Chains A and B, each alone.
Chain A
Amino acid sequence: MGSRFFRQAGDSDSDTESSDEESLVSGDDAQKPAAPAKPKSRFLRSGGSSDSESSSEEEESEDSEDEQKPTATAQKVSKYLAAGSDDEDSDEEVKRVVKSAKDKRLEEMEATGTAMNNALKINDWTAISTEFDKLLRMIQRQQNVGDPIPPFFIRTTTELETSVNDAQAKDAKKKMNATNARALTAMKQKIKKTLKDFDKEVKQYQADPEVFEREYTAAVAPEVTKVTKTRKSEGAVDEDDDAFQTVGKDGKALQFTSDSVFKELQHVQQARGKKNTDRNEQIRILEKLLEVAATTYQRIRVLLALVSARFDYNASVASHMPIDLWVAAQKEVDQLINIVATNSHYTVEEAIPDYDELAERTPDEEPDKILRVRGSIISFVDRLDDEFTKSLQNIDPHGTEYVERLKDEKYLYATITRAQTYYEKSKTQSDSLTRVIMRRLEHIYSKPDAVVNALEASISTADVKAAASKLGTTSSLIHSLCVHLYKSGNSLLRTRAILCHIYHYALHNDFHTSRDMLLMSHLQESIHSADVATQILYNRAVVQLGLCAFRCGLIKEAQSTLQEIFSTQRVKELLAQGVHQQRFQVLTPDQEKAERQRQLPFHMHINTELLEAAFLVSSMLVEIPLLASIDSEEQKRKAISKPFRRLLDFADRQVFTGPPESTRDHIMQASKALQNGDWQQCRDLVQSIKIWSLMPEAAAVKEMLAKRIQEEGLRTYLFTYAPYYSSLSLSLLSRTFHLEVRAVTSIISRMIWHEELSASLDQSAGVVVFHRVELTRTQQLAQVLADKVSAMVEQNEKTLDNKLGGSTGWGDRGEGGKGDKREQVQERKGRAGGRGGASRGRGRGGRFQQGLGNQMNEVKVR
């Protein structure tokens, strides 16, 4: 395989004519999977060879230094280099240059290297293994002769190591046949051994490849120079013929003058997106161009192209952009924004009339003295942000790398703010302004004050004088950002802004404001039709609202808010914090990929365990007294919280219960203790749950829980044990449950008033007297019948209402009487969403009674 490529590459190079040949080759290219890299190798050729062999000429080595930095690590690039060296190899054959023994050895080695590279492309590890053995033998010989280790060898080995690791990581093994896989494993061992053997050299090389190479070159200098020279002259000849050669390396530094900037730019842009384009090379060219760019216009143009090129570097959707590239891109975007922000004569806009790409332009030539350049800063900012998120998605969140990466957020945030300032000033691109504000909002909405303050501090040090950032508290900052978005026409951004706002209020324990916003936005009705990302944001906001209610001690609200998301049993998926394992259906790879892309980076996660603990504890406090209060089987089936009920049933069936380990165990055992009236144990169990420590005000929350448990414990106790008492002393109850007599009286009074407990207080004796009514079978049946009849009456009335009032709807108050009745029926049934049409903008009251604000009479507000 390898040799064939060889020949072709050699041929096309040495043939000085013909696009025919070119097309023939490219036809070949298409057939071979490995081929695409080859033409690249051609325009890189001389550069590559200068790397490997390196000349003593100053200029040449300078260039190679420049090149070396970005490529040293990238394995992909190394292929070209190696391939390049093999090209030249064949050139030499043609030209019959006389070579020394050393050179011959070196060439042999390089040939092996190329063979390996070619084998690598088709994943042929057996071939690689053989070639590597060969290489090792040659090195052995070299050492015997006393020659230094050529850098080529070290590089090849290190590169091989990365590719081996890559191959293993990619699970390519699975696809390999047995021999190949075995060869791969063997290779790994071998390389490990070799690296160990040449430990010193490798380290030297890695520390500073240039120095290492120069040393080597110095050792073998006389011979090499000659070779290089010949090759150089020949490269110059090639250049004219080959279409790709225009962006070649040779003499490039001389070519790049400010005059040719536009021409070069155009070349780069034409090559952009083509299959054979070497993106790395392009970036390098553009970097050079940036250095020589003389006028502001040139700089803008080059920066625009350069940032795009950096983003182009990584074509795959799944993997993230290399971080160093990202950092460079971020700096360049900053630079770009600074240029346009300081020079009000220049703007970068998306839609502008055509202009001559090759001509130099100045603002003075323009009618309104403003020079417009085609491009889009906002899309750069968007892309930067997206790539940042993507990298966080891909980095292991528990490693230090993640933390390191997260530190970049402040630079990104500064860039975003900078862009915002620019757009605020320029005033022409309001759409971009809203987008950039949304980006900014998304960076801060879910963070606690301290973190946001840190981010804000980083802006002020980054010399951005953003008017919006001088707004004092986080809340007011978020408020101003949101208000700006509300005023914008984009309804999607408006929705997202309000959700962020809700989330923020919930995070700051402002339950009422947050809830009112959620209800008044009427998002519950339309969220189903929103895009997935917004739905996720909605879920996050709702969940945070639930947690907020929990922290504020509004147990009932917390329960009903969290209920919905927990009954799906797919909490992680709904919050985009993990991919759901579906039991019965397998996701297609596409779906799975899409799902992975949606995942939130780890630092934005809401802890699901904490969430579950909050939900289960509030369910416990709601459900256990309820369970105790009902006696018939039928009522029992109407659970308020199904997930909790299921867990409880499961725990009941357990034959043996050990000491609690997980959060769930704790809560289940606490529930049982509560059922038995043992509130102290219940409290201890609930308070010993470790996950509470993640809550900001853990101590206060625990205290609140203890209080609730006392109260609900009392209620449960009364429900459960009332049949066994004829009277109970209030003071005893107060002592048992560590509550004030007044509180006990209040709770019991409420229960009596709402007819939950058939009892009455005896004030003079200080006791509660129970009135037990034993129902006979007939009475029970009669009661059931009565219930059914009343249900039927309701049903009937509803039908009648629908028939009569169907056309007039809710606004009609002429039918007040009937409407009222229907209203009450609905309330009793607690149906959600029944009154969507009642009024817009203030459909709150209705919703309060059904949805989040569902406060039954027994809720205490203290």
Chain B
Amino acid sequence: MAEWDLSQRIIPYLDRHLAFPLLAYLTETGLFPAEEVQAAQYELARKTNMVDYAVNLFESVYPGKEIPAEFNEKRKEALLTNERLQQDAQAVLHVIENPDVAQALRQDKNQNLQYLKENYNVNLEQITALYNFGQFQYTVGNYSGATDYLYHFRILSTDADLNTSAHWGKLSSDILIGKWDVALEELNSLRDAIDSRSTPLPASASAADPAALGQLHARTWWLHWSLFIYFNHDQGRTLLLETFLSPTYLNTIQTSCPWILRYLVVSSILSRKAPSPSSRVRHSIREIVKIVQMEEYQYTDPVTTFLKELYVEFDFEAAQKALTEAEKVVANDFFLDNFGDEFMDNARYLISEAYCRIHQRIDIGCVIWLGMQLWDGF
């Protein structure tokens, strides 16, 4: 099953901290040797400021070995930095937490800055301290703290680059603390930010335009991060279909990360019966079949094969085979793990639907090869 595991493809597009849950999941599934995964976890943690966690991991990876001295230093350093940054940030926080100030703040950021400067002597540097502290909190694993600070920073700051960075940081923190509703909001606003960066395109613009390339990268990252939310939020699957099937994101998938197709396929199968206002979602399967076919040369796995066998080849036997494979794939996928049964039910339903539509009379005996569980579908 390891060949179908997407962790290696997904992790490069994730933040260091977001990769932890994935690796933790890998230790559970046992697709890879536990030691290797642990070693990977350790390597991952070593570079963060989560010193205690790293030390724990080190002990489990190399039992009996002495803990490297660097951790001690790092811990001290981290504590110092923490204090320093906190002091810096505290000044601003005091001001912001003042109810009067909260009332006086308006939409216009420049005006706010002016206001803060005049009345409370808070300047831009101090606000940036908020960002620094938030980022630090994030690196030590205090995600809820990070999300707060970054939130405040974003309200006040006018620096576009830091703002974007804070945006990603906040999204990541929200994901890691599991506040899916908030995260979803954050996700959408981030998407707006990415999309709005697109400049109006002159026809002659060359493909090598760095801005367009940057946008492509941002979208690719966004797609990967969004998986966390879409597969945990209640409405996630429908939303995923709607977003991923919009032309720009579909293009991104096809261009830079075809493996996302798996999630697209699963979502469309899952939301088979979901009531949706969008015709795109309702007819998603048809569209996705086309895409799967088109991208076959780049990416296939049992999940996409299932769809192809069913709707392109109409080979029910092969589809059934692919489905049994797909069941395992889904069960071993970090994002899809929870949807295994639901996926199987819907997939069987699809098989039966197609089968019955084509056949006038069905030999019950012949149906046996479709698998006994098929009966659930009827």
- A and B: partners? yes
Q: Is A626 an interface residue (CB 8 A)?
A: no
A838 touches B314 (CB 8 A): no
Chain B 345-362 near chain A by CB (<8 Å), digits 1 or 0: 000000000100111111
A840 touches B294 (CB 8 A): no
> Which residues of the partner chain A approach B291 to less than 8 Å between Cβ atoms?
845
> In the complex the two chains form, what is the Cα distance from A762 to B360 in whole Å?
5
B363 touches A763 (CB 8 A): yes
Taking the nearest CB of chain B, how far is it from the CB of A860, in angstroms?
7
Across the interface, A842 reaches (CB within 8 A) one of B204, B216, B242, B311, namely B216
Taking the nearest CB of chain B, how far is it from the CB of A259, in angstroms?
55
Q: Is B290 an interface residue (CB 8 A)?
A: yes
The number of chain A residues with a CB under 8 A from chain B is 54
A860 touches B313 (CB 8 A): yes
> Which residues of the partner chain A approach B279 to less than 8 Å between Cβ atoms?
820-821, 824
A491 touches B359 (CB 8 A): no
Which among A820, A821, A835, A853 has the greatest number of chain B C-beta atoms within 10 A? Answer: A820
Q: Which of A662-670, A731-739, A743-751 contacts B (4 or more CB under 8 A)?
A: A743-751
Q: Is B366 an interface residue (CB 8 A)?
A: yes
A813 touches B216 (CB 8 A): no
Q: In chain A, residues 808-862, which have Cβ atoms closer than 8 Å to a Cβ of chain B?
A: 810-811, 813, 816-817, 819-821, 823-824, 835-846, 848-849, 853, 855, 857, 859-861
A855 touches B293 (CB 8 A): yes
With A823-B247, A846-B247 known as contacts, the answer to whether A861 contacts B315 (CB < 8 A) is no
B251 touches A760 (CB 8 A): no
Q: Which of A388-396, A518-526, A683-691 contacts B (4 or more CB under 8 A)?
A: A518-526
Q: Is B250 an interface residue (CB 8 A)?
A: yes
> Which residues of the partner chain A approach B363 to less than 8 Å between Cβ atoms?
763-764
The number of chain B residues with a CB under 8 A from chain A is 53
Across the interface, B247 reaches (CB within 8 A) one of A749, A764, A845, namely A845
With A746-B314, A760-B360 known as contacts, the answer to whether A844 contacts B254 (CB < 8 A) is yes
With A839-B198, A842-B254, A845-B251 known as contacts, the answer to whether A817 contacts B209 (CB < 8 A) is no
A813 touches B246 (CB 8 A): yes
With A520-B255, A753-B314 known as contacts, the answer to whether A837 contacts B201 (CB < 8 A) is yes
Residue of A nearest to B188 (CB): A813
B277 touches A749 (CB 8 A): no
B203 touches A525 (CB 8 A): yes
Taking the nearest CB of chain B, how far is it from the CB of A490, in angstroms?
12
Q: Is B69 an interface residue (CB 8 A)?
A: no
Q: Is A512 an interface residue (CB 8 A)?
A: yes
Q: Is B84 an interface residue (CB 8 A)?
A: no
Q: In chain B, residues 292-330, which have Cβ atoms closer than 8 Å to a Cβ of chain A?
A: 293-294, 296-298, 308, 311-315
Q: Is A765 an interface residue (CB 8 A)?
A: yes
A845 touches B195 (CB 8 A): no
Residue of A nearest to B196 (CB): A811
Q: Is A769 an interface residue (CB 8 A)?
A: yes
Q: Is B206 an interface residue (CB 8 A)?
A: yes
Across the interface, B290 reaches (CB within 8 A) one of A521, A824, A844, A849, namely A849
> In the complex the two chains form, what is the Cα distance from A837 to B195 in whole Å?
13
Across the interface, B296 reaches (CB within 8 A) one of A491, A839, A843, A861, namely A861
> Which residues of the partner chain B approach A765 to less than 8 Å between Cβ atoms?
361
With A761-B358, A855-B290 known as contacts, the answer to whether A842 contacts B196 (CB < 8 A) is no
A760 touches B359 (CB 8 A): yes
A861 touches B280 (CB 8 A): no
> Which residues of the partner chain A approach B204 to less than 8 Å between Cβ atoms?
526, 529
**B binding-site residues for A, Cβ under 8 Å:** 195-196, 198, 201, 203-209, 212-213, 215-216, 242, 246-248, 250-256, 277-280, 289-291, 293-294, 296-298, 308, 311-315, 354, 357-363, 366
Complex A-B, nearest 8 residue pairs according to Cβ-Cβ distance, in ascending order: A749-B314, A760-B360, A842-B251, A841-B212, A845-B250, A764-B363, A820-B280, A842-B255
**A binding-site residues for B, Cβ under 8 Å:** 486, 491, 494, 512, 520-522, 525-526, 529, 742, 745-746, 749-750, 752-753, 760-765, 769, 810-811, 813, 816-817, 819-821, 823-824, 835-846, 848-849, 853, 855, 857, 859-861
- Give me 18 A-to-B residue pairs in the complex whose CB atoms sit less than 8 angstroms apart, sorted by A's number: A512-B298, A522-B205, A526-B204, A763-B361, A769-B360, A813-B195, A817-B278, A820-B280, A836-B201, A838-B248, A839-B201, A840-B207, A841-B216, A845-B251, A845-B253, A855-B294, A857-B312, A861-B293
